[in-house]
Amino acid sequence: MSQSELTMSTGHEVLMESSPYGMEKKKLGMWIFIVSDACTFATFLFGYGYMRVGSQNWGTPFEFSSILNGIIMTFVLLSSSLSMLAAVRATQAGQKASANKWLGLTMLLGTVFAILHLREWFKMIGEGWRLFYNPLGGAAQFGACFFSVTGLHLTHVISGVIALAFIARGYNQGRYDSSHVETAGLYWHFVDLVWMFVFPLMYLMNAAR
């Protein structure tokens, strides 16, 4: 039972110190989670950098078709951020139908991103890429770094879609309000912004030039 529920159930206001951040606990909690998750991603990316610096024959295998796929993925993810913003805006205005539409679009775009990403993965696996094998003869670390970094990001996207589905369901049932949608939105934007690092570092830095 949370403080706010207690306040509501006892019928009298429990007086509290105001939060120095001026934001409710869900949102603050999400921000703190984001700080820690950013460090987790950073560790993966630094590990990739370490592997790359330490390897003697790092290849740059991505043809322009892969880069193009990456660009499309990036645009899809950025558009989903925009639709997420619209969804938050709609829930705040209490427009349920519009909110559902935008939330659905966000989930759809997230799914499209995941599908495009998995297509890329399967294409690479078909070409012989493995966590421990580089079919082009360069450093075997490439597969390890690529699949683990993008895999971590993909996990975040997929869990984000699932979380959004739960939030949307709760919102429609009246259990959740706009603040829940807004908190989920923070997570969604964060996953989007991580991609802003993953895309240049994993794709562009490995483009065959």
Partner 1 sequence: MHDMTAHAAAHHAPPQGFIRKYVFSVDHKVIGIQYTALGLVSAFIGMALSWAMRIHLAWPTASIPFLGTLSPNGAPGGVPTPEYYLSLMTMHGTIMAFFLLTAAPMAGFGNFMLPIHVGAADMAFPRLNMASFWVTFVGFVLACATFFIPDGPPLSGWTAYAPLSAVGAVAGPGQGWGQNLWGLSIALFCVASLLGALNFIVTTIDLRTKGMTLSRLPLATWAWFINAWVSLLAFAVLLPTCLLLVLDRLGGTSFFIPGGLVINDKMLPHSGGSPLLFQHLFWFFGHPEVYIIILPAFGIVAHVMPTFTRKPLVGGWKVITYAMAAIGGLSFVVWGHHMFVSGMSPYMAMVFSVPTLIITIPSVIAVLVFAFSLYGANMRFTTPMLFCLGFISLFISGGIGGFFLAQPAVDSYLHATSFVVGHFHFTMGLSAVFAAFAGFYYWFPKMWGRMMNETLGKIHFWLSFVLVYCVFMTLHLMGLTGSVRRYSQFVADFMVPLTPTNRFITIAALLLGATQFIFFYNVIWSRFKGPKAADNPWQATTLEWDTTSPPPFDNFGGRQMTVYHGPMEYDGDAFVMQTSTEKSIAGT
Partner 2 sequence: MSSNQELSMGSYAGIVIGLMIIVGIEVVLTYQHLSVRTLLFALLCLASLEAFVGVMYLMHVKYENRLLFWTIFPATLFVLVLLNYLWPDAYRMARMSLGR
- In the complex, the smallest distance separating the C-beta of residue 79 from partner 2, rounded to whole angstroms, is 7
Binder of partner 1 out of 67, 112, 140, 207 (CB under 8 A): 140
Binder of partner 2 out of 66, 71, 148, 170 (CB under 8 A): 71
- The site partner of 14 among partner 2, partner 1, none (C-beta below 5 to 8 Å per kind) is partner 1
**Beta bridge partners of residue 161, listed in sequence order:** none
Separation CA 130–CA 47 (nearest Å): 18
Would you give the binding string for partner 1 spanning residues 68-107, x where CB under 8 A is met? ----------------------------------------
DSSP 8-state symbol, 19: P
- In the complex, the smallest distance separating the C-beta of residue 184 from partner 1, rounded to whole angstroms, is 15
User: Which residues lie closer than 8 Å to 25 by C-beta, 6 or more apart?
Assistant: 19
Query: What is the DSSP secondary-structure string of 20-84?
Result: TT-S-HHHHHHHHHHHHHHHHHHHHHHHHHHHHHH-S-----B-HHHHHHHHHHHHHHHHHHHHH
DSSP 8-state symbol, 17: P
Separation CA 62–CA 68 (nearest Å): 10
Would you give the binding string for partner 1 spanning residues 36-65, x where CB under 8 A is met? xx-xx--xx--x--xx--xx----------
Contact, 17 vs 101, CB < 8 A?
no
- The site partner of 141 among partner 2, partner 1, none (C-beta below 5 to 8 Å per kind) is partner 1
Q: According to the binding rule CB under 8 A, does residue 136 interact with partner 1?
A: no
Which contiguous run of DSSP H or E holds residue 92? helix 64-92
Q: According to the binding rule CB under 8 A, does residue 205 interact with partner 2?
A: yes
Separation CA 204–CA 186 (nearest Å): 26
Q: Largest Cα–Cα distance of the chain, in whole Å? A: 70
| Sites of contact with partner 1 (CB under 8 A) | 1-3, 5-6, 9-12, 14-17, 19-21, 24-25, 28-29, 32-33, 35-37, 39-40, 43-44, 47, 50-51, 54-55, 130-132, 139-141, 143-144, 148, 152
| Sites of contact with partner 2 (CB under 8 A) | 20-24, 27, 31, 34-35, 38-39, 42-43, 46, 49-50, 53-56, 67, 71, 74-75, 78-79, 81-82, 85-86, 89, 92, 178-179, 182, 186, 189-190, 192-193, 196-197, 199-201, 204-205, 207, 209
